[in-house]
Structure 1
Amino acid sequence: MESQIQHIHKQLLDKKISCVDLVQEKLSLLKENTHNTVNSLLTDLALERAALVDAKIANGETIGLLEGIPFGIKDVYMLQGTYTTASSDLLKNYKSAYTATAIQKLLDAGAIPIVKENCDSFGHGSSSENTIFGAVKNAVNPELVGGGSSGGSAVNVAKDYTIFSIGGDTGGSVRQPAGYNNVYGLKPTYGRISRYGLMAYASSTDCVGPLAKSVEDIRIVLNTMSGKDTKDQTTYTSKTIEEDSILNASNIKTVGYFKNFIESEAIDAQIKADFLATIEKIKAKGIEVKELDFFKSDILVSTYYTLAMAETASNLSRLDGTNYGDRIEDKNLKESYAITRSEKFSEETKRRIVGGNQVLSQGFSDEIYLKGLALRDAISENFEKDFEEVDIILSPVTPSRPPKIGDSLKDPLAMYLSDAYTVGFSLGHLPTLTIPQGTETGLQLTAAKNNDELVLKFANFLKDMI
């Protein structure tokens, strides 16, 4: 199977390239890039680890598959001793005291972190414009947004600045930028990968997700990061997905799609036409395709943002300049808290905190928040019924093409609505993979909980078919 990781691994073993040269090349590309993907380069750490890999090879020692492979980290993950800013003014000088479990597993496998990547501040956005480091520019057309919130991670993979990157997906933050930049991006089943060391946005839907240029590289990285973690009680033990197991998709007999997604007035005409053309190609391969009924897009978006804003208001209450981040002193403690949060949070983050506090406030929580929880349960039940009828659900990643830089900031509601096709799968805790095929912004493949292997199988099947 096509795999940059395997190709580089072989080159290192055959001594056709040195790890130090490879890492130095990627660092140079990142330093010179004009897409605003970099928050900080990990030059010393990366070159030190690369030299150790070269020494092992020179001594005839065995190296693992990921050993010496350069990768990027969305700047919301802890990596001990490095700046972890969340692209925010409040944390611009914050250094991690420990390393996130998912990142530690990659380090243990020998992978080399080379960059902390630009993103929407605290993951709040769908365009990677809400950042103190400047808007991330799309890999295909730099006048357009890079998508969000993991925009820097997606662009770095698309431009070959990293071999793979680790993003974070709460309501589509890996899948949407993957679609905007024509790469693969996976939101695994909730709990498959530990969230420990990932700055919390909405804890009930936050997922660690890889971005790469091939299904095989997604599989390799997913296997490495997966597993139960005593520091995250939502994690579980999962089976390793073998390479051979995703080569045969014969057990996928039925594919479904939500007709209201395709019949929506909001969907771009070309994305709709391309999606329906893909459906016909799938039918031509003898796979049954079923139309499914689902919640309307506006219900999905409002349910997701009700819960996500409530959780982010709670999670970010700890950031007041006392224990974390820069503090602005004022006449008393209360005023210091107020001015620090007012001046140091982005407009979008403040919008979400205010909305979340409103949702959770007395007199509103029963009417809004508890209703959101009930709708989330209903959405999950709907998915369970769907997967009694179909093996895979296929959907567009977004209803529209990536906007020009600046447009999303003028219309926050339009930004929220751009998540209409991704948030439902987050609420359902389902494994969902963006593939760079089928429409201009890709396709989403979704399977039932804990069926991550199935989405990789179907992605591999579609790779040569559409």
Structure 2
Amino acid sequence: MELYKQPAHTLHDMLVKREITSTELTRAFLNRIEQTDADIHSYITTIAEKALDMAKSADEKISSGESVSFLTGLPGAIKDNICTLGVKTTCASKMLENFIPPYNAAVMEKINHMDAVILGKTNMDEFAMGGSTENSAFFPTHNPYDTDCVPGGSSGGSAAAVAGGLAAWAIGSDTGGSIRQPASFCGIVGLKPTYGRVSRYGLVAYASSLDQVGPLTRDVTDCANILNVIAGYDSMDSTSINEPVPDYTKALIKDVRGLKIGLPAEYFVDGMDEEVIRAIHAAVADFKAMGAQIVEISLPYTKYAIAAYYLVASAEAATNLSRYDGVSYGSRVSGEDIVAMMTNTRTEKFGNEVKRRIMIGNYALSAGYYDAYYLKALKLRTLVKEDYDKAFEKVDVILAPTAPTPAFKIGSIINDPLQMYLQDACTVPLNLAGLPGISLPCGFSKAGLPIGMQIIGKPLAEETIIKTAFTYEQSKDFHKMFAGVIE
């Protein structure tokens, strides 16, 4: 058995039964990284020695007969915008290329408490700004299904690591689709929780009112188990929701009879790939056959969501990234005076996409334009949320494509920002509304590339979307595939 091809829950069972050790498992993943990451580039930093030390500690705990968590001894990967004590956290930016956090993010504290093994920090679009992981300051990540294609972004390194067998599980962040879209492109499962369900403390901010941390996994079962670990209230995050966390694994039930699934016409945007449309309609037919009720719904303000999102996100990014001035935060490039130093620092250390969004944000917030752009975007954000509120009076969940196309070729649209931004058309509305959404595979293109669908729920309805996704997943073989081959 090739251990790196197995879902995390299978590996957990093997560890608990002592059929394998965490050290053996960790070495299998480290070997896989050594053999294949030169082609995929999923990691910015690997910590092999630390990982083996963690594995040894996990083995001691398991062999002692102590009760263990789902993550005990399981090797995983962390997106490089989540602070990890003593390990570089670069946000894939030259601005932070040497930054080693003196503390752990809240999510890292929870994961470490469960005795997980951390293999390293994964590549991403710089400061999470992008949808292809081509905007990394270091190198692009490649899709394990086709290394000529992007893995999606901004959590592309995390998605590629899971899809390529370079980690049993991974953590990403989602500001406008950055967990769900790479999950779709890489044929895995990615869940964006309700805004506030998972602490943002220690997540390097891009757009604070939109960012959310979540899991990327081989299947829905793994996703539910990891959400159990990372969800919960945190007093260090002022936006954290102080509500009890259910056991999400109890939602792993195969039953959608009577479930009302909304199908929004607005999500089938102009230019959407025909293969994506066919895959979604096939999934709709499958849900009907399993006893779900399909309800046609309308979300009329969806067409304005992209414009509203890029104004809100860019305005927040401009504010958040103003701290990287070469004095308070970030690397420094010298200059003849403080103005020249700050100018040189931000010119040399920020990439083009980051600069673009900072400029858009500063323009939208500037005197004379605030009301015309930023304030109007906030009003549209409210209308997008009201669309969902009305829809959820009629349906239990909403089903939609995750992305308008399968993974595209590296370099094919990177120089066309508008085309890149339109890749987010199906994902950004959830972030504006703060809703939970899960992406899972529902088919493949003729070229053998994965196609994903997303299931959207009401606030704090992660259990409902997990149950819906699990029911569909178990009726198919997509979750059993590794690089397109059923294992």
Mapped to 2, the partners of 1:139 and 1:285 lie a distance apart of 32
Deviation at 1:278, TM superposition (A): 2.0
Matched, 1:24 2:47: no
Matched, 1:101 2:111: no
Mapped to 2, the partners of 1:242 and 1:89 lie a distance apart of 38
Matched, 1:202 2:212: no
CA gap 1:252/1:36 in 2 versus in 1, 3 angstroms:
farther
3-state SS in 2 of match to 1:115: strand
The letter of the residue matching 1:113 is I
Mapped to 1, the partners of 2:252 and 2:43 lie a distance apart of 34
Task: Give the alignment's TM-score, normalised by structure 1.
Answer: 0.96
CA gap 1:146/1:6 in 2 versus in 1, 3 angstroms:
closer
Deviation at 1:78, TM superposition (A): 0.3
Mapped to 1, the partners of 2:255 and 2:148 lie a distance apart of 39
CA gap 1:221/1:79 in 2 versus in 1, 3 angstroms:
same
CA gap 1:332/1:252 in 2 versus in 1, 3 angstroms:
farther
CA gap 1:290/1:167 in 2 versus in 1, 3 angstroms:
same
Matched, 1:372 2:377: yes
Mapped contact 2:257–2:290 kept (Cα < 8 A): no
- The one of 100, 111, 131 aligned to 1:126: 131
The letter of the residue matching 1:260 is E
Mapped to 1, the partners of 2:17 and 2:294 lie a distance apart of 46
Matched, 1:309 2:314: yes
Alignment-derived partner of residue 168 in structure 2: 163
Task: Give the alignment's TM-score, normalised by structure 2.
Answer: 0.92
Mapped to 2, the partners of 1:212 and 1:294 lie a distance apart of 29
Deviation at 1:353, TM superposition (A): 0.2
3-state SS in 2 of match to 1:459: helix
The letter of the residue matching 1:294 is L
Deviation at 1:296, TM superposition (A): 5.6
Alignment-derived partner of residue 482 in structure 2: none
Deviation at 1:7, TM superposition (A): 2.2
Mapped to 2, the partners of 1:460 and 1:121 lie a distance apart of 33
Mapped contact 2:283–2:442 kept (Cα < 8 A): no
Alignment-derived partner of residue 459 in structure 1: 469
CA gap 1:242/1:310 in 2 versus in 1, 3 angstroms:
closer
3-state SS in 1 of match to 2:76: strand
Mapped contact 1:149–1:173 kept (Cα < 8 A): yes
Matched, 1:447 2:457: yes
Deviation at 1:144, TM superposition (A): 0.5
Mapped contact 1:88–1:344 kept (Cα < 8 A): yes
Mapped contact 1:75–1:86 kept (Cα < 8 A): yes
Mapped contact 1:246–1:454 kept (Cα < 8 A): no
Mapped contact 1:101–1:196 kept (Cα < 8 A): yes
Gaps of 5+ in 2: 445-449, 477-487
Matched, 1:238 2:244: yes
- The one of 268, 282, 288 aligned to 2:293: 288
Deviation at 1:402, TM superposition (A): 1.6
CA gap 1:105/1:251 in 2 versus in 1, 3 angstroms:
farther
Mapped to 2, the partners of 1:282 and 1:11 lie a distance apart of 33
Mapped to 1, the partners of 2:68 and 2:304 lie a distance apart of 50
The letter of the residue matching 1:15 is R
Aligned pairs, how many? 464
1:66-465 to structure 2, matched below 5 A, reads 66-236=71-241, 237-250=243-256, 252-262=258-268, 264-295=269-300, 298-438=303-443, 440-465=450-475
Task: Give aligned-pair identity as a percent.
Answer: 36
Deviation at 1:361, TM superposition (A): 0.3
Mapped to 1, the partners of 2:264 and 2:6 lie a distance apart of 32
- The one of 48, 53, 58 aligned to 1:48: 53
CA gap 1:183/1:136 in 2 versus in 1, 3 angstroms:
same
Deviation at 1:57, TM superposition (A): 3.1
Deviant stretches of 4+, over 6 Å: none
State the Cα deviation string for residues 410-453 of structure 1 (Å, max 9, x = none). 21110000100000011111110001114642100001111000
Alignment-derived partner of residue 10 in structure 2: 7
State the Cα deviation string for residues 97-137 of structure 1 (Å, max 9, x = none). 11000111011011111110000000010000011221110
Mapped to 1, the partners of 2:82 and 2:68 lie a distance apart of 26
The letter of the residue matching 1:204 is S
- The one of 43, 50, 64 aligned to 2:69: 64
State the Cα deviation string for residues 322-381 of structure 1 (Å, max 9, x = none). 132210010001110111001110000000000000000000001110000001011111
Deviation at 1:244, TM superposition (A): 3.3
Of stretches 11-20 and 402-411 in structure 1, the one that deviates more from structure 2 is 11-20
